[in-house]
Amino acid sequence: MFKKLFVSSVSACFELTNENPYYSPESYEVTLDGKPYGKFATNVFSVYNLLPDTQYTVGAGGFALTFRTRPETASVSVKALGAKADGKSDDTYFVQMAIDRCPEGGRVVFEEGEYLVRPVVLKSGITVELKKGATLLGDICEENYPYIPARVYKGGKEEILASWEGEPFDCHQSFVSAYRQKNICVVGEGTINGNADKSTWWATPKGRKVARPRLVFLNKCSNVRFHGVTCKNSASWNLHPFFCKNLGFYDVKVQNPYTAPNTDGLDPESCDKVDIIGCTFSVGDDCCAIKAGKLYMGKTYKTPANRHTLRNNLFQDGHGAIVLGSEMSGGVKNLSVCQCVFKHTDRGLRIKTRRGRGKDGVIDGVLFENIKMENVITPLVINMYYFCDPDGHTEFVWSRDKNNAVDEGTPYLGKFTFRDIECCDCECMAGYFDGLVEQPIKEILIENVSFSFKSDAKAYQPAMLENVKSYCRAGLYADNVEKLILKNVTFDGVNGEKIIKNKLGELIIE
């Protein structure tokens, strides 16, 4: 069986209904109106180059589903308006004109070619189609990315226009952006290429008075869908939705070199209802980080990351696969993570916070299940001493003084469940759980989870915090955790104790 995930006027995405993480049990043929379309091996598959307002029948694995594409009011070809699409000529005027002139309910079409452009701005009510072989290619000159002020004031009320790492911060305009827009689709087999590998963005990532642009920045937008496109070579984060509602990312591919600094894959920040399904990530930082701002944003706007679903995704070659924080001052709730595969990431499921994130920084009742990890150095990490920000290495952050008090700046980590997870070829340790002295992690349940280690594993530090030692083939470390419950947890290849306890309240092993 399979179900429909998303349909645009020219594309559609579907998901097999099984319990296998990311990959289907066996490869299968897909047909479109009875004709062969392609062979697939993953649980999510897509069809493209469809006609608007047309009924189709798609078949897969002996089952069939009939659907109808969305109607549209018009289609506007960027090439027909004068774009050269040769990768050398500046096509910004033609691209932006096509977007601006496209009527509501219409589609902007990028046919095969490289469209070299400066930053472009999306508007409500349109579909952008990047056909196979079409690339939206970023200008490499920093001066062509104008400054966006962190905030403006309307009638004395603050409006945040630009943000970096959880705080209002002046930024260069992002390569593709939208501000307070709605009902946008970006679809197709083409590519959004920030071209940062040819620029100076990665050479000087730190100490900038104006933050690097995102590849795509969506500010207070709603009903936005990305389907099929490849996003790559971003100057900083690839996809950054900020205070948005009702977003969908389906069968999207996000690619950056592992050495590219701070090039997170997809970081929804203080967003409500985000679906990330069937996507692949290979980046130079965290693959997907769920965020909710730092202290000022959390206290002022009190907007959590809410109703996020991550399913049937592949995360590889990043620092962390799925990450909560460290900017989580608005809190994280109603998060569902299942049927995902992690490969060659430094850490797998990674929760990170620190003193100063605030009392609204609450993460509780989180379930991660049905996940397979391969060659992940440390599969499970919960770190409440993360040494980020300018004061990250100060005693305020790393202190273990038992007299530290819970105050307005103290975050809260409640119950976490890790269930039905297979971790193969680990190196550092199975899991590292480190709660604040004054605010321990409340409960960690690990159920039906197996850890096996490489025979030639190397030593690594399991988490990013001050004074942490390196480990090799270690078990589960728990410090300042009130309750740790292990049900059907197995270890293969651990050196030494399977449970390394330090200020662990209650340990239950079944």
List phi, psi (to 5°) of 199: -110, -170
Q: Are the CB atoms for 161 and 152 separated by under 8 Å?
A: yes
Cis peptide before 326 (omega within 30 of 0): yes
The kind and range of the H/E element at 248 are strand 245-250
Cβ neighbours for 357, distance < 8 A, ≥ 6 positions apart: 294, 295, 298, 325, 326, 327, 328, 329, 409, 411
Q: Is 317 a catalytic residue?
A: no
Phi-psi label, residue 301: left if phi above 0, alpha if psi -120 to 50, beta otherwise: alpha
The one catalytic residue among 319, 346, 425, 479: 319
CB atoms within 10 A of CB 130: 24
Distance CA 211, CA 169 (A): 7
What count of other Cβ atoms lies within 10 Å of the Cβ of residue 370? Answer: 18
Q: Are 114 and 139 in contact (CB under 8 A)?
A: no
Among residues 285, 346, 360, 479, which one is catalytic? 285
For 49-197, where are the alpha helices, taking DSSP H only?
A: 92-101
- Number of other CB atoms surrounding residue 241 within 10 Å: 26
CA distance 383 to 463: 7
| CA separation for the pair 226, 234 (Å, rounded) | 16
Q: How far apart are CA 427 and CA 94, in angstroms?
A: 51
> If we measure between CA atoms, which residue out of 454, 447, 457, 461 comes closest to residue 492?
454
Say if CB 351 and CB 324 are below 8 A apart: yes
Cβ proximity of 392 and 421 under 8 Å? no
285 is annotated as an active-site residue: yes
Half-sphere exposure for 20 (CA within 13 Å, toward CB)? 14
- State the amino acid at position 205 in one-letter form: P
Phi, psi of 230 (to 5 degrees): -100, 130
Joined tokens for residue 324: 């909560």
Reduce the DSSP state of residue 100 to 3 states and report it. Answer: helix
The whole-angstrom separation of Cα 56 and Cα 11 is: 11
- Computed from CA positions of residues 164, 168, 169, 172, in that sequence, does the dihedral angle turn out positive or negative? positive
Spatial distance between the Cα atoms of 510 and 506, rounded to a whole number of angstroms: 13
Among all residues, which ones are annotated catalytic? 285, 319
